[in-house]
């Protein structure tokens, strides 16, 4: 990613609301991974296809190829299927991938947003799991998330969101890879305060203070 990403251990970067400071990315451990595969009944590994868009996210194809290489090293023979974004999202929504790479941006800036969309058990009536194409489901996580969403007290709500996130991480229900670092380029006499939603709003571009 050439310096414009940070390894992710959670679904939002700290100090976003509902994140935990002590959630660190997993390290790549070939020996431990092979032991886990063997314990799960796959001593010789298995094969899968990793779906990815090509041109939707920064270096999406290269990131998918890097993941495929790491998985192949531990015995999971991984083939990357890269398609144009519209084709990829159609395939994803039709559950055609065993695994896929995609990104997420949180409009609200708190953990309930990605958990509700990506990790909650799909339930149209409750508005939960609308983008959960991995079909992950953990009733304990759902209960924590729903309790958090009806809790007004900030401290209690944040603690519930942290607990819900930890449950998904512990289950490996989703595998966070990295956080993109947004970059803005402009003339030297201009400045712009970067936004978490990555929007570029012309009215907030300012002239730098003149110096002599």
Helices (H) and strands (E) in the chain, counts: 6, 7
pLDDT tens digit at each of 212 positions of the chain: 989 999 999 999 999 999 998 888 988 999 999 999 999 999 999 999 999 999 999 999 999 999 999 999 999 999 999 999 999 999 999 999 999 999 998 888 899 999 999 999 999 999 999 999 999 999 999 999 999 999 999 999 999 999 999 999 999 999 999 999 888 999 999 999 988 788 899 999 999 875 44
For helices 139-149 and 154-171, the axis angle rounded to 10 degrees is: 160
Are the CB atoms for 143 and 160 separated by under 8 Å? no
Output the pLDDT for position 146.
97
Output the pLDDT for position 8.
95
Give the pTM: 0.87
Could you give the domains of the chain?
Answer: 5-207 (3.10.105.10)
Output the pLDDT for position 205.
94
Phi-psi group of 198: left, alpha or beta (phi > 0 → left; psi -120 to 50 → alpha; rest → beta): left
Output the pLDDT for position 212.
43
- Compute how many other C-beta atoms are within 10 angstroms of the C-beta atom of residue 195: 12
Are the CB atoms for 162 and 21 separated by under 8 Å? no
**Quick one: 155 exposed, middle or buried, by C-beta within 10 A (0-12, 13-18, 19+)?**
exposed
pLDDT, one tens digit per residue, over 64-84 is: 999 999 999 999 999 999 999
């Amino acid at each position: 990613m050439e310096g414009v990403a940070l390894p992710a251990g959670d679904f939002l970067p700290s100090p976003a609301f509902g994140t935990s400071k002590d959630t660190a990315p997993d390290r790549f451990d070939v020996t431990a991974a092979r032991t886990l595969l063997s314990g799960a009944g796959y001593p010789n590994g298995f094969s899968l296809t990793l779906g990815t868009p090509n041109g939707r996210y920064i270096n999406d194809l290269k990131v998918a190829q890097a993941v495929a290489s790491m998985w192949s090293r531990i015995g999971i023979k991984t083939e990357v299927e890269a398609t144009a974004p519209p084709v990829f999202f159609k395939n994803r929504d039709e559950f055609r991938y065993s695994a896929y790479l995609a990104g997420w941006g949180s409009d609200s800036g708190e953990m309930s947003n990605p958990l509700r969309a990506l990790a909650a058990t799909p339930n149209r009536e409750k508005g939960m799991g609308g983008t959960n194409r991995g079909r992950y489901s953990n009733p304990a996580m759902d209960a924590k998330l729903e309790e958090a969403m009806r809790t007004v007290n900030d401290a209690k709500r944040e603690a519930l969101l942290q607990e819900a996130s930890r449950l998904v991480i512990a289950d490996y229900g989703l595998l966070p890879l990295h956080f993109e670092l947004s970059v803005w380029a402009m003339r030297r006499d201009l400045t712009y305060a970067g936004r978490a939603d990555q929007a570029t709003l012309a009215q907030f571009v300012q002239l730098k203070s003149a110096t002599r």
